[in-house]
Amino acid sequence: MRTQIAIIGSGPSGLLLGQLLTEAGIDNVILDRVGKDYILGRVRAGVLEEGTVGLLDEARSAFRLHAEGLPHDGFSLAFDGRDHRIDLYELTGGKRVTVYGQTEVTRDLMITREASGALTVYDAANATPHDFDSSSPYVTYEKDGVTHRIDCDFIAGCDGFHGASRKAVPEKVIRTFEKVYPFGWLGLLADVAPVNHELIYANHPRGFALCSMRSATRSRYYIQCSLDEKVEDWSDDRFWDELRRRLPTHHAQALKTAPSFEKSIAPLRSFVAEPMRFDRLFLVGDAAHIVPPTGAKGLNLAASDVHYLFEGLREFYDARSSAGIDAYSQKALARVWKAVRFSWWMTTMMHRFPDTGDFDQKIQEAELDYLTHSRAASTALAENYVGLPF
C-alpha cells in the first residue's frame, strides 16, 4: 500500500490531522494499535481553546460541539474560603473556552473520517516507522498474523507518550526535558449536575481540588493525592467528603453527589522532546510533550501541533515548498514551551508540595492575592488560559 502521509495513532491529534489532510485532498492512512471501542472508552480532558474549535470547524467535525459544548467566559480561583472569578471574556477582549469532552471530540472526528471514506486501520499491532531519514520512508504493522507495509512521503507520529514513533528516533539526535511532580490527581466522573456553572480551581491546606464538568448533567471532579494512594481505598463517600473540605462553604453545601462510574489516579509530569521533526518523521501531541492538566493545555497543544504540521504539508503539496515543514519543529516548540511554563506555574501556585515550608507557603498566598487583585496579572493568566495565538 502507498499513501502520502502515514499517521500512527488515532487519538484526537491523528484524527484531526487526517481529516484536515483529507479535506485538502492529501491522501493519508491512520493506524492504531487498539480498537475503536477502547479509544472511545478513555476518559480525557475537556476544555477547548478557540483555536482548537476553529480547527475542528475546518475539519468539518464540530457539528455536535456547537450544539452540546458549554462556552465558558471565566472560571474561579478558590482560596481563603472565597471565590475569585477570572473573567476570561472581558480580560481577553471577547475570547472564551468551550467545555466539551475529548472523548466526544474523538467520536466526532471518527464519524467525519468514516463518512469521508478515508482509511483507518484499528488493531494494527507494532506499527513502526522505518527509513524516515531517507526519501523512501515506510511504516510496518501486524494485523491478523500478517505483516503489512505502507510506503509514504511522510510519517506523523501521533501515538502518544508511550508510542513507537519517538522510540524509533536514535537517542543521539533527540533531547528530552522532564519534571515529575510529587503528587497525583484522583479523579471521579459521575452523572450529576456540576456544583458550579464554571470551573473551580481550589487551593486549600489539605491540597488542590478542581470542579469541572463534561456536560450540564455530568461532572468531573479531582483532588490532589499522594502518589502512593490506591483507587480502591477511596470509596465514593470518602471522595465526596474530602472534596467538600477543600471547597468554600457555599460550594461545599451546594455539592450534589451520585455514584461514580469512573475513578482513577493520574500522576503529573512536564515533558518535552526536542526537536519534533526528524527528516520525514514528525512528532505530534503527547508523542512530543506532556503537561500537567492544571492549565488545560494537553489536547490544545496537540491541536496547535496539528495546525503547524498541516499548514506545512499543504504548502509542500500545493506549492512544492518545504518552508513550512522545515519550520514545524521551531514553531511548535515555541508554543509548547509557553504552555509548559503556564501549566507548571498553575500547578505550583495551586498545589501543596510535600517540601513546602512556611516561607514557600507565604509566597504562594502572596502570588494568589496579587493575581486576583492586579488586572495585569489576571490578564496574563486569562490570555494563557484561553490559548496563545498559533
179 included as an active-site residue? no
- Residue that is written with C-alpha cell 515506510 in the block: 138
Mapped onto helix, strand or coil, the DSSP state of residue 14 is: helix
**Rounded-to-integer distance, Cα 107 and Cα 42, Å:** 11
Active site residue 204: no
The strand pairing partners of 265, in sequence order, are: 186
Tell me the angle at which helices 12-23 and 102-116 cross, rounded to the nearest 10 degrees. 30
In a 13 Å sphere around the CA of 44, the CA atoms on its Cβ side amount to 19
297 annotated active-site: yes
Among the options 141, 293, 307, 331, which is catalytic?
293
Cβ-based neighbour number of residue 367 at 10 Å: 16
204, 289, 297, 331: the catalytic one is 297
Q: Give CA–CA dist 338/342, Å, rounded.
A: 6
Which entry of 201, 221, 222, 328 is annotated as an active-site residue?
Answer: 201
With 0-12 / 13-18 / 19 or more C-beta atoms within 10 angstroms meaning exposed / middle / buried, residue 146 is: exposed
Residue 34: CB atoms within 10 Å: 14
| Lookup: cell for 150 | 505502507
Q: What angle do CA 194, 198, 201 make, to 5 degrees?
A: 95
185 strand-pairing partners: 224, 266
User: For residues 2 and 264, what is the distance between their CA atoms, to the nearest angstrom?
Assistant: 41
Which grid cell is 117? 471514506
Is 170 catalytic? The answer is no
The SS3 call for residue 162 is coil
Whose CA is closest to 103, among 38, 150, 167, 54?
Answer: 38
CA angle 212, 266, 291 (to 5 degrees): 80
Distance of alpha carbon 145 from alpha carbon 137, whole angstroms:
23
Residue 72 among the catalytic residues: yes
Q: Which among 12, 72, 95, 292 is annotated as catalytic?
A: 72
Pairing of strands 47-48, 97-99: antiparallel
Which residues form the catalytic set? 72, 201, 293, 297, 385
